[in-house]
Amino acid sequence: MRTAPTILHLDMDAFFASVEQASKPSLRGKAVVVGGLGPRGVVATASYEARVFGVHSAMPMGQARRLAPNAAYLVPRFTLYKSISERVMELLRALSPLVEPLSLDEAFVDLEAGGVAWDEPSARLAGVKLRADIRAVTGLTGSVGLAASKMLAKIASEEAKPDGLVVIEPGTERAMLGPMSVRTLPGVGPATGDHLRRAGITTVEEIVEAGEDELVRLLGKAHGHGLYAMALARDDRPVVAERETKSVSVEDTYDVDIHDRTRVGLEVQRLAERCVRRLRGAGLSGRTIVLKVRRYDFSTLTRSETLRGPTDDPGVIREAAARLLDSVDTTGGVRLLGVGVSGLADYTQEDLFAQAAGERAVAEGPVEEHAAAAAEEQPSLAERRWPAGHDVRHAEFGHGWVQGSGLGRVTVRFETPDSEPGRVRTFRVDDPDLEAADPLPLVLRGPDGGGGVPGAESQAVSSVPASLPKSWSGSGGGAATSRP
């Protein structure tokens, strides 16, 4: 294990919601919830203002609306989030060749491998500069944790939130971890946490006091050994630049349970087509076809079939998914369906079955692809054309975003990332002067191509939570008051 805090963990602050606040002046400082807006939608991200009311990611959207009825509820704009994420990842890769993305808004970086840090002062300097660069390029804030291991760096970034930097100095790890909840450690979810609590173990220090043998007795050999090592702050996992894709899958949750068997079959075929498009887009093929069915009673069934060789043939994957569906009873209703492909490879193995199915796919493909695209857009006309939060442009009023739609009307607030909060106007959904638009940049470009946050003012930020031991070290950057 290294002796300097040269592993960095970056976690963008309430990423999706912060992007929405940065692009919509009227939402800055307000509760914002991003996610699926249907009856069975879930929260993807909640702004810190929404979290005050108890809203959090993965919460059912209905529950979020009850907790924060006055929040702004927006449909995700994943293309925009991905483009901003790519700019952040470029900054990370400028620091080191060893960058391990965990999601669009989170990554580990090995600073020592990039030659930019070798001790605590140099690591801190790299972290401070990174946060400043992210703000300049995106207008957003990210929290940084620095430690000698991945586990500790992630814990440090969590303690640094929001908009802070925390360094765990070598030699202080055990004292820092001791009083923390067992849920702080990776791999300790609700079930494991409850199991340990029933055994009288609620803190990391109590894991150490219980001893390795007791942990193995309670949790099994692999989990027990691993958890005991983490409680002792032992984590030798390296930062891995390339994370291998293990599967490609798609799934849909339905607002109303599907009871018609024919409709279920058509949905499975549509999902298989979408899965193939993702598979081919990644240049991959796979041997194992997986069907996921969540029934009316929330029971989830998974069926799989392994082929003789990897394929990306739509006919083969559709037929395999249909065969798997034949083995599942859906008479009570289906609330979720998914199709996936695993056992991935970067080549395909043709066989007679694939060729025959492929010939049918060539004849049927274009028709089914259009049908799949149409089937993906089931909401009403207003909801389909004008999702809440998405960008629009009006011939007279300029750029804006959709506040809501329904009953043949769409309400738009006209504002841009660098404007004052804008005015609201309502139009017919088929108004010829209103059209969908691309998102505007969050940060204006200067003459030299550099970024700047319009109207930003400096504000002191304390990044060391009061509950942290004195051996922890934090530093905060400036916070733009015109940005979340």
Length of the chain: 484
Residue type, 172: T
Tell me if residue 209 is catalytic.
Answer: no
Separation CA 349–CA 312 (nearest Å):
9
In contact, 217 and 224? CB cutoff 8 Å: yes
Token pair 């024919």 is found at 262
Q: What is the DSSP string of 82-113?
A: HHHHHHHHHHHHHH-S-EEEEETTEEEEETTT
Q: Which of 100, 106, 173, 319 is catalytic?
A: 106
Rounded (5°) CA angle 200-201-207: 140
Q: Which residues pair with 302 in a beta bridge?
A: 292
Query: Considering just the CA atoms, what is the radius of gyration of the chain in Å?
Result: 25
Residue that is written with structure tokens 């990644």 in the block: 282
User: In the structure encoding, which two tokens stand for residue 478, read together?
Assistant: 């400036």
CB 152 within 8 A of CB 235: yes
Q: Which of 69, 57, 146 is nearest to 103 (CA)?
A: 57
**Residue 72, beta-bridge partner list:** 32
Which residue matches tokens 């494991």? 192
Q: CA torsion 382→385→390→392, rounded to 10°?
A: -100
* Among the listed residues 37, 19, 41, the one whose alpha carbon sits nearest the alpha carbon of residue 28: 19
Nearest by Cα to 439 from 404, 385, 390, 484: 390
Range 426-432 contact pairs with CB under 8 angstroms and sequence separation of 24 or more = 427/394, 429/381, 429/382, 429/385, 429/386, 429/405, 431/394
User: Residue 398 and residue 268: Cα distance in Å, rounded?
Assistant: 41
Buried-exposed string 137-150: b where 16+ CB fall within 10 A, e elsewhere = bbbbbbbbbbbbbb
The first and second tokens of residue 172, run together, are 């202080």
Question: How far, rounded to the nearest angstrom, does the alpha carbon of residue 217 sit from its chain's CA centroid?
Answer: 35
Task: Please check whether residue 17 is in contact with residue 23, taking contact to mean a CB–CB distance below 8 angstroms.
Answer: no
Which helix (H) or strand (E) element contains residue 248? strand 247-258
Tokens of 284: 């991959």
Q: Which residue in 404, 373, 384, 269 sits closest to 323, CA to CA?
A: 269
Orientation angle between helical segments 352-375 and 314-326, nearest 10 degrees:
80
Catalytic residue annotation: 106
